[in-house]
Copies of this chain bind each other. A is one copy, B any other.
Amino acid sequence: MTDATAFDAVLAAISFNADGLVPAIAQAEGTGEVLMMAWMNREAVVETLTTGRVCYWSRSRRGLWRKGESSGQVQMLKDFRVDCDGDTLLLIVEQQGVACHTGRRSCFYRAWRDGTLETIQEVETDPSVLYGTPHTHGA
């Protein structure tokens, strides 16, 4: 068990929504690439700050989502930032491998081009290498 009392001040600064969640943006240290956005509950915040390894809350699986636990796509926390009104987090991370479950570096690989969404980032890692079987996003 983690001693949550050490985190009272930061938890008080975060406005969790009605479901007890806050959106967390992951940005790659160094390149500044925005990798993904997922959600955290209080427990995920405390675990992430305690271990230095990013842990989200999976809304689909309704459980803590230790990023990379099955896929190896681990994110090590380099900085933890809170926005002006406390309702969004920004995590600066060292991403091991690719962030996206499709095998791309970033989840934001589709861009508006001439009226359609175009894929602007290629697959770097075969998803079957990451997961063995077809997989959906943890969020």
Contact = CB atoms under 8 A, between A and B. Distances in A.
Report copies per complex: 2
A79 B111 contact: yes
Interface string A56-98: 0000000000000000000000011111110110100000000
B112 A80 contact: yes
A9 B33 CA distance: 26
Interface in A89-139: 90, 100-102, 104, 107-112, 115-117, 120, 136-137, 139
A104 B88 CA distance: 16
B34 A112 contact: no
6 closest A-B pairs by beta carbon, nearest first, are A32-B32, A80-B112, A83-B107, A81-B108, A37-B88, A90-B108
